[in-house]
Amino acid sequence: MATKTPITVAYGDGIGPEIMEATLRILAEAGAQLDIERIEIGEKVYLAGNPAGIEPGAFDSLRRTKVFLKAPITTPQGGGYKSLNVTVRKTFGLYANVRPCVSYHPFVETKHPVMDVVIVRENEEDVYGGIEYRQTGQVTQCLKLISRPGTEKIVRYAFEYARRNGRKKVTCFTKDNIMKITDGLFHKVFDEIASEYADIENEHWIVDIGAAKLSDTPENFDVVVLPNLYGDVLSDVAAQIAGSVGLAGSANIGESIAMFEAIHGSAPRRAGQNLANPSGLFLGAVMMLVHLGQTEVAERAHNAWLRTMEDGVHTYDIYKEGVSREKVGTREFAEAVVARLGRRPETLKAVSYKAGGGEAAFATRMAREAAAAAKELTGVDVYLDWKDGSAEQLGGAMENLAGDGLHISSIANRGVKVWPGGAAETFCSDHWRCRFRSESGGRVTHAQVASLLARAAEAGFDFIKTENLYDFDGQPGYSHAQE
Amino acid sequence: MATKTPITVAYGDGIGPEIMEATLRILAEAGAQLDIERIEIGEKVYLAGNPAGIEPGAFDSLRRTKVFLKAPITTPQGGGYKSLNVTVRKTFGLYANVRPCVSYHPFVETKHPVMDVVIVRENEEDVYGGIEYRQTGQVTQCLKLISRPGTEKIVRYAFEYARRNGRKKVTCFTKDNIMKITDGLFHKVFDEIASEYADIENEHWIVDIGAAKLSDTPENFDVVVLPNLYGDVLSDVAAQIAGSVGLAGSANIGESIAMFEAIHGSAPRRAGQNLANPSGLFLGAVMMLVHLGQTEVAERAHNAWLRTMEDGVHTYDIYKEGVSREKVGTREFAEAVVARLGRRPETLKAVSYKAGGGEAAFATRMAREAAAAAKELTGVDVYLDWKDGSAEQLGGAMENLAGDGLHISSIANRGVKVWPGGAAETFCSDHWRCRFRSESGGRVTHAQVASLLARAAEAGFDFIKTENLYDFDGQPGYSHAQE
């Protein structure tokens, strides 16, 4: 512990500098061994012409220290600015967002007195690639991507987190009753990896019911692992119902680099008044200490903070007459925590961090490679922008376009089969999916797909996109339209 | 009111028949003028070989009456069965799912004593087309579709609902800070239509924050309109935190046909014991009466039910010592409501339904057509299944593939730009997006796209999908990769 560990620190905007100073003050007094490299991020850096709010040179510091403690920033008004968090997350592959949501009843008001949930959110995939297309007058499209290696990483992270933190259960939410291929993959990988952790209970809920249970009876959950979008929504729900978003920190974990922060924003209107609650950033910093293996310091600091909460020494945001005892500013709050270093909470549960329980130990563990499956091209979906008639008429036109070993097998609109057959009541947009298959029922070549498109171009059809149909090990790798 | 209105009724499975009998008994005593056509749906129908659990002939009844009161069903275990609800919804274009979530404090236990939220969920689009593809060993894909006419219909429905039901505010949730094209369209259409309803307040929240607020302080919401997936999750959250999913009904509204039901399932273990709470189906039936214009009957029945709740006459599921007064079975509960017809609640707020406030009046109103935009093809994204090297190597290979007026402008992996440039830490899956554009910067033809694919086929590349890049009125209709 005598050697100082280099970390990169950014003070950010708004209340950022104050809560960072308070946080670093507690950490130093608690005995953290940190060698701080300071970088600039945020509003000034955006306005100086860096579209992601971070200077190119700052990335060098992150690559060197591999640990980033970040205060909230302000993104300037107006277009053209990119999210700093998204940039850092994507550049460094920070695949796991970890957010403990704890209630501190009866010291902080909450409708859920017993709540200690850790949300582990996949952070790179799903609809957050932001891969979007408008290809017809009426219809827009976003791609949701779920990969096996991405899912393996996040699910394994959740179980390792549970094991290292003495957690009993990992719950997974998906919507695989509808999205059998994408969410189905997430659920399948969850089951596979869960079977390697016999010491940890596991369960899966469909996300609608799961979300309802989580928001009503969070005491029934422990660690919850989620695809990106569900995780985004439900981590905010969990933090909110625990009592205050002002008290939550989070970690963004990658294979080589990790970032720690508060979940709240820079609150410019509270800036510079010694008002802000530093607890969110402080609890993020505690996660950082555990990550760095400085577990004794983390435990000492965290327990002193819990004791401060319990003693009713509260900043304005959680101060409540009759519950709180003393309303303090940012600096005084930090001093109150410092004064309690070495003490533990009496009513709230004290924390205990095991030595060697750092994240780094497994962060570089490679995801398993998917078993190679035999892949065969068996058809193609050609999507058209078309508004010249009925499904029946389009069916006829596509029959003319077929040939060269391909035939048209069905047409769907917004996922509903409309040809052959179809119901008169089905609303048809200008976005049509025409499914072509091998006439012989066998394999299709890429050259056949290219020729089909050449014929479509010649016939004047506006084909807007294609999706190849593959079998993997003889099983169709695509959905069928609802009939 | 003397003429009976034909409706289609299905008694369903499990507790279905009991709660349907109880519901129809109250309706009849309240003076509902209904001419009931009974159809069979559910377990027996599935097992008789109908994959969606409904006989083909039953659709004729629905087409004739245009109104469907449906008890819950049991879907048999095992694969190959399709969701009956999804089938009916898709076949008849039931675009709006409407779910009032009301708390009945202090008579039914809830953490949210003041809650009266109506969730209006888009019911046809988003990821629920179930349009999915696995095209590489590692990556699976689902298409999220949001259309302008689909969005106009649901948003207009929400505002009309608000106006006809004396509601003050409509709130919209999207994630348009990330999904600027799809969720951006939903938000834009919301703003457009909101401007036509000056008498109704409107607001928009990013779905993560919105969901957190809704689950913590539902008293701040009134009508909430949502894309399908957010609506699916948050309608369950809202129903749950209101107190009991056993007390919620819902409507599925199409342009010509509507379906009314309870939101809970068939609870086979409670079946046949005169135990089940018929309230969910009953409240669905009240929505049906309003839809049919039998508003006086709806008001009379609903207020008698509220009085019954208030009088503490409760079925087992909501019975609570000290709050409830009498524990009753399904039939006795119905009789208790019947006995209170003509009475109104004293503590809870009585309902009032305006004559002529039916849904039918605007259900057939056409969505506005999008203003036709000038559309120009300016490039194509070709997606490859490729695992033969680095982004740099792929860039070189794609430069060889270009020509014929096209050049390769960038390569991305899971939405992150990896060529030219790119960070060493970015994890690359086997799913690559290669963006080709016109060499001259101008228009691209469909024939050029087909030729490019022919060259890719010849060179042995496994192109798995394509997405054309269009400008609409000079503005790009596609997203840029995160750099």
pLDDT at B128 over 50: yes
The predicted structure's pLDDT at residue A365 = 46
Confidence of residue A482 (pLDDT cuts 50, 70, 90): low
Question: Which of the residues A63, A111, A142 would you substitute to probe the B interface, choosing the one with the greatest number of B C-beta atoms within 10 Å?
Answer: A142
Chain A CB contacts of B255 under 8 Å are: 425, 427
Contact B385, B137 (CB under 8 A): yes
Give exposure, B207-219, as e/b (b: 16+ Cβ within 10 Å). Answer: bbebbbbbbbebe
Question: Does the pLDDT at position A70 exceed 60?
Answer: yes
Cβ–Cβ gap A143/B143 under 8 Å: yes
B429 vs A453: CA distance, rounded Å = 27
| Per-residue confidence (pLDDT) for residue A449, from 0 to 100 | 97
CB contact under 8 A, A181 and B133: yes
Instruction: Measure in Å the smallest separation between the Cα of B428 and chain A Cα atoms.
Output: 10
Structure tokens at A353: 């961090």
Nearest CB to B370 within list A138, A241, A370 = A138
Q: What is the mean pLDDT of chain A?
A: 92
How near does any CA of chain B get to the CA of A405, in Å? 16
Give the Cα separation of B440 and B438 in Å (integer): 5
At B20-69, the pLDDT tens digits run 999 999 999 999 999 999 999 999 999 998 888 998 889 999 999 999 99
Chains A and B: how many Cβ contacts under 8 Å? 359
pLDDT number for residue B360: 45
Q: Which two tokens stand for residue B150?
A: 């689909």
Check residue A189 and give its pLDDT.
Answer: 97
Average pLDDT over residues B87-113: 91
Query: Residue B414 — φ and ψ, nearest 5°?
Result: 50, 40
pLDDT, one tens digit per residue, over B151-195 is 999 999 999 999 988 899 999 999 998 899 999 999 999 999 999
- Tell me which of A16 and B243 has the higher pLDDT: A16
Dist. CA A155–CA A143, nearest whole Å: 22
Are the beta carbons of A429 and B241 separated by less than 8 Å? no
| Record: contact B212-A237, CB cut-off 8 A | yes
Instruction: Give the mutation candidate from A66, A111, A131, A416 for the B interface (greatest B CB count, under 10 A).
Output: A131
CB atoms closer than 10 angstroms to residue A214: 27
> To the nearest whole angstrom, how far is the Cα of A91 from the nearest Cα of chain B?
6
A interface mutation test: which of B64, B88, B134, B245 has the most A CBs within 10 A? B134
SS3 label, residue A479:
coil
Q: What is the mean pLDDT of the segment spanning A315-332?
A: 95
> pLDDT at position B84, please?
87
Burial of B440 (0-12, 13-18, 19+ CB in 10 A): exposed
Among B139, B182, B230, whose Cβ lies nearest the Cβ of A140? B182
Q: Smallest Cβ distance to B237: which of A215, A372, A446?
A: A215
| Minimal Cβ distance to A129: which of B256, B414, B426 | B414
Structure-model confidence comparison of residues A361 and B357, the more confident one: B357
What is the DSSP pairing of strand A94-102 with strand A132-134?
unpaired
DSSP states along A21-41: HHHHHHHHHHT--EEEEEE-B
Provide the percentage of residues in chain A whose pLDDT is more than 90: 78
Among all chains, which residue has been given the structure tokens 């089940």?
B276
Query: Distance between CA atoms of B459 and B241, rounded to whole angstroms?
Result: 58
Residues A467, B133: contact at Cβ < 8 Å?
Answer: yes
Neighboring chain B residues of A131 at a CB cutoff of 8 Å? 412, 415, 433, 479, 481
Contact B464, B432 (CB under 8 A): no
Is the pLDDT reported for residue A481 higher than 80? no
Taking only the tens place, the pLDDT of each residue in A356-382 is 644 444 443 444 445 578 999 999 999
Residues B281-298: pLDDT tens digits? 999 999 999 999 999 999
pTM comes to: 0.92
For residue A191, name the pLDDT band (cuts at 50, 70, 90): very high
Contact B129 A207 (CB under 8 A): no
* Least confident piece of the model among A468-482, B93-107, B375-389: A468-482
Q: Cβ distance A304 to A345 under 8 Å?
A: no
Give the contacts of A200 (CB within 8 A, at least 6 positions apart): A159, A162, A163, A167, A168, A169, A170, A194
Q: Which residues are CB-neighbours of A219 under 8 A, at least 6 positions away?
A: A112, A114, A115
Pick from A87, A236, A447: CB nearest B457:
A447
pLDDT at residue number A290: 94
Partners of A457 on chain B (C-beta within 8 Å) are: 445-447, 449-450
Whether the pLDDT of residue B134 is over 50: the answer is yes
Are B425 and A149 a contacting pair at CB < 8 A? no
SS3 category, A152: helix
Query: Closest to B479 (Cβ–Cβ): which among A90, A111, A131?
Result: A131
Chain B residues near residue A92 by CB distance under 8 angstroms = 423, 425
Question: Could you tell me the end-to-end alpha-carbon distance of chain A, in angstroms, rounded to an integer?
Answer: 65
Average pLDDT over residues B349-375: 64
Tell which residue, A315, A294, A308, has the closest CA to residue A339: A308
Calculate the CA B209 to chain-centre distance. 20
CB-based contacts of B297: which residues, under 8 Å, 6+ apart? B1, B27, B30, B31, B32, B33, B289
Q: How far does A25 lie from chain B, in Å, by closest CA?
A: 31
> Quick one: closest CA in B to A93, which residue?
B426
Locus of tokens 């159809």: B39
| Cα three-residue angle B254-B257-B260, rounded to 5 degrees | 90
At A147 the pLDDT is 95
Cβ-defined contact of B140 to A181 (cutoff 8 Å): yes
* Interface test mutation site (partner B, options A110, A216, A256, max chain B beta carbons within 10 A): A216
Of A142, A472, A481, the CB nearest to B134: A472
Task: Say if CB B430 and CB A96 are below 8 A apart.
Answer: no
**Amino acid at the residue B226:** L
DSSP state of A269: G
The runs of H, that is alpha helices, within B356-471 are 360-363, 391-401, 446-458
Would you call B137 and A372 a contact, using CB atoms and an 8 Å cutoff? yes
Give the torsion sign (CA, B125, B130, B135, B136): positive
CB atoms B229 and A232 under 8 Å: no
**A483 pLDDT tier (thresholds 50, 70, 90):** low
Give how far Cα B128 sits from Cα of B125, B143, B146, B230, Å: 6, 9, 11, 11
CA angle B134, B135, B137 (to 5 degrees): 85
Q: Which two tokens stand for residue B391?
A: 């982004």
Question: What radius of gyration, in Å, describes the C-alpha atoms of chain A?
Answer: 27
Q: Which ipTM was obtained for this model?
A: 0.91
